[in-house]
Amino acid sequence: MNRVEAPRHAAPLWTKSFIFICLTNLFMFTSFYFLLPTLPVFVTSGLGGDESSVGYIIGILSLTAVMVRPLSGYLLDAVGRKKVLFLALIAFCLATAAYQIIAGLTGLFLLRALHGMTWGFTTTGAGTVAADVVPAERRGEGLGYYGLSNTLAMAAGPSLGLFVLDKGGFSALFGASLVLALLGLLSLAGVSYEAAPRKPELRPADSAGEAKKKKAGLSLATLFEPAVFSLSGVMGFVAIVYGGIVSFITLLAKEIGVPNAGVYFLIYALTLLVIRPWAGRAFDRKGPRQIMMIGFISMIIAFVLLFLAKGIALFILSAVAMGVGFGIVQPTLMAMAINRVPPFRRGAANGTLMSAFDLGIGLGSIVLGYVSKLAGLPGMYLACAAIIVIPALLYFRLGEEETAGARQG
């Protein structure tokens, strides 16, 4: 099937609304990443908890985020994108402010549960708004650039959070995280656009499948978007192995004598900065199949390099390969999901896909932890290389009939 090249002079991408939703996402994610490496220190040094307590405190946020994402997607479609995102960001700021008054592990556990709910709403909402404001013919490119705000936050947030903690203590850390969250809320004021159309009335030309989708009311059919279930399955397996990076790369660095594990995330983030825009443009012009093949192969190479790594050289090369692989696969799946649904179902599609991602990270952290006990950390990463074959097969078994419509939006 011949693909039509995207026009060279397409609709403008860097509009005021797109810039400000990227800024909203950047500040929100940086606030989140301030706490990611520092909360374990707060649990153990500040509240007297142990490693088991750290696991529960970190894990509950992902669990509650998974629980609310489908509901957030439904409300984004039913109530309105900016209104729901605005209220969610206010709740996110309040939850961040509440860290200042936590004095025990039980209170922190409950706060993390609440923080996870606000995180599920804000991240789903911001991604859906971004999908609305980018031109349809440049959606892959636009979402690739939007994803770079996550990347920049991941590159800068953990190091800055540890620096603030070292210089000012926990109070300064939580205060700085709150300031960043408030900047995200203020940035949302710069977003103004024509909202996606609400659910239309049935017309005679509507298919039977569409008729079922247009029934009013809150149900599983409105919370989840069946059109992206196959893509969500792929995303879930990718997230499982990504959970292995997030949870255990620091431990592997210590084991192989790398003095600062943060170099992995730095190199990974810098690679994403280069790859995501290229992958987005390639998706818009030629479709997803060729670049997804490159993405899956790169992720396999990244995990094999971690299995073989005995020092910093292969460790860094793995970060580059992971940046190439994840920088292609994750935003391409998101763009495909958005393009497979009508505008009034983008919230549900985004929520469905991100729920699979959160669930995959949570399951991956737990399951791969057991694998590492049995096979060691290098063996666990070799297992990750094998696991990547599963989402690759799932994706390419979708067939040409699935991917042919990926760029129609």
Is residue 255 in a domain? yes
> What CATH number is given to the structural domain containing 139?
1.20.1250.20
Residue 201 lies in a domain: no
Residues near 350 by beta carbon (within 8 Å), at least 6 away in sequence: 73, 76, 124, 127, 128, 131, 334, 337, 338
Tokens coding 18 = 């797109």
Answer yes or no: do 263 and 388 share one domain. Answer: yes
* Alpha-carbon torsion (148, 135, 349, 409), positive or negative: negative
Supply the range of the domain harboring residue 18.
12-190
pLDDT digits (tens, 9 = 90+) for 181-238: 999 999 999 998 666 555 554 444 444 444 444 444 555 556 677 788 888 899 999 9
Are residues 280 and 365 located together in one domain of the fold?
Answer: yes
In a domain, 219, yes or no: no
Please state, in angstroms and as integers, the Cα–Cα distance from residue 272 to each residue in 34, 148, 154, 238, 310, following that order.
20, 7, 11, 16, 24
pLDDT in tens, 356-370: 887 887 777 778 877
Residues 21, 158: one domain? yes
Burial of 109 (0-12, 13-18, 19+ CB in 10 A): middle
Q: Considering the domain boundaries, does residue 208 fall inside one?
A: no
Contact 191, 17 (CB under 8 A): yes
| 108-142 residue pLDDT tens | 999 999 999 999 999 989 988 998 888 888 877 78
Token pair in block for residue 41: 């220190």
| Same domain (yes/no): 118, 23 | yes
Asked, for residue 107, whether it belongs to a domain, the answer is yes
Contact 196, 343 (CB under 8 A): yes
Percent of the chain beyond pLDDT 90?
A: 34
CB 357 within 8 A of CB 243: no
How large a percentage of the chain has pLDDT more than 70? 85
Per the structure, the count of domains in the chain is 2
The average pLDDT across 239-264 equals 80
Sign of CA dihedral 171, 173, 174, 176: positive
In terms of Cβ atoms closer than 10 Å to its own Cβ (0-12, 13-18, 19+), residue 203 is exposed
- How far apart CA 340 and CA 362 sit, in angstroms, is 27
CA–CA dist 362, 35 (Å, integer): 17
Same-domain check for residues 137 and 236: no
Rounded to the nearest integer, the mean pLDDT of the chain is: 82
Question: How far apart, in whole angstroms, are the C-alpha atoms of residue 268 and residue 255?
Answer: 20
- DSSP for 83-141? HHHHHHHHHHHHHHHGGGG--SHHHHHHHHHHHHHHHHHHHHHHHHHHHHHS-GGGHHH
Confidence at residue 172, expressed as pLDDT on a 0 to 100 scale = 96
Per the domain annotation, does 5 fall within a domain? Answer: no
Instruction: Report the 3 state secondary structure along 30-48.
Output: HHHHHHCCCHHHHHHHHCC
Confirm whether 70 is domain-assigned.
yes
pLDDT of 201 reads 45
In this prediction, residues 62-76 reach a mean pLDDT of 83
Q: Averaged over 340-353, what is the pLDDT? A: 79
Q: What is the predicted pLDDT for the residue at 54?
A: 65
Q: What is the pLDDT of residue 195?
A: 60
- pTM comes to 0.68
279-309 pLDDT per residue, tens: 888 888 887 888 999 999 999 999 999 999 9
Query: Torsion angle, CA of 135/126/392/136, rounded to 10 degrees?
Result: -10
Confidence (pLDDT) at 206: 46
Could you tell me if residue 311 is inside a domain? yes
Q: Which residue has the tokens 């008729």?
A: 211
CA distance 43 to 132: 39
Residues 144 and 254 reside in one and the same domain? no
What's the rounded mean pLDDT across residues 53-80?
A: 80
